[in-house]
Amino acid sequence: MKDLTIALHAGAHKTATTHLQKTMSDNETLINKAGITFRGPNAFRAPGATLRHMFEIGRKMEEPVPGGPQAILKTLADGRDRLIISEENFFGSLNPPGGAFRRYLYPDGPGRLEVLAQRVAPHPIDLFFAVRDPATFMQSAYSQALSSDHRVSLDRYVDGIRPDQISWFRLIGKIVKRKATRRIWIWRYEDYPAIQEQLYRLLLTPEIAPSITPHPGLMNQSLSQAAVEACLSDDPQRPIAPEARALYPVGDTYPRYEGFSAEARRRSRLRYEDDLSRIEELPGVTLLKT
């Protein structure tokens, strides 16, 4: 464990996190042979045994592990020199209790990361984090709320928050100030299909990156206008989002749901582009590009 390095993929939610996690799991044998251990969400979702519980970050383990954080880290790494942890809930939930969208993204994330770095020291953490155009991010978060049968309109869900008020730079800037990571790698969700091999080279090794087979298909596809209307209907037998997605798939027959106006989407893109330019200037941060 002397030379152990840690890669933390902390989301964000709705940025193809599930696809990346599935890809890592699909290629587990190859990854293990390269001296790398991957631990996805399933390793951290049991009651009382989340990543925050394990490393006592604001929460306590019901039965503390003898040897503390270093013993936990050793178990997670399973004798290998590189540990990849992928758990988007570590920074916080996408939809808090009550279902309203948060204006400030993952407010507790930077502090949790700082404490985690203290717990796993002297082993360095490389942070991997994807961002997304605020308008489509908020709309996808809304779809997630519908998946939980939270029957609410988009207007009520966003509660007056405009997409152009959402700032990824604010979040990443706070993380940088904490100085809890060795490096930070950022990528646009929109670029994910094109930068996957770059990502594999950084998460894994340049040698095995070309051999990684991406998980087939898309995960958690968009909802159509008809699907959203079905979720919001007064019918007691109305479907929740996953069922509605299957009944009314996006295509020529069922156009994709667009919850924000063209002007709101335009302003969101401008804010997003400005955020990305500012993020690129932060020390220790690299934006992966096509």
Transcribe 47-99 into DSSP letters. TT-SHHHHTTSSS--SSPPTTHHHHHHHHHHTT-SEEEEE-GGGS--SS-TT-
Predicted local confidence at residue 97, as pLDDT: 65
- The overall average pLDDT reported for the chain is 93
Distance CA 171, CA 180 (A): 14
Model pLDDT for residues 170-199, shown as the tens digit of each residue = 999 999 999 999 999 999 999 999 999 999
Distance CA 43, CA 218 (A): 23
Q: What is the pTM of this model?
A: 0.94
Structure tokens at 244: 């509605």
**pLDDT of 221 higher than 90:** no
Beta-strand pair 183-188/36-39: unpaired
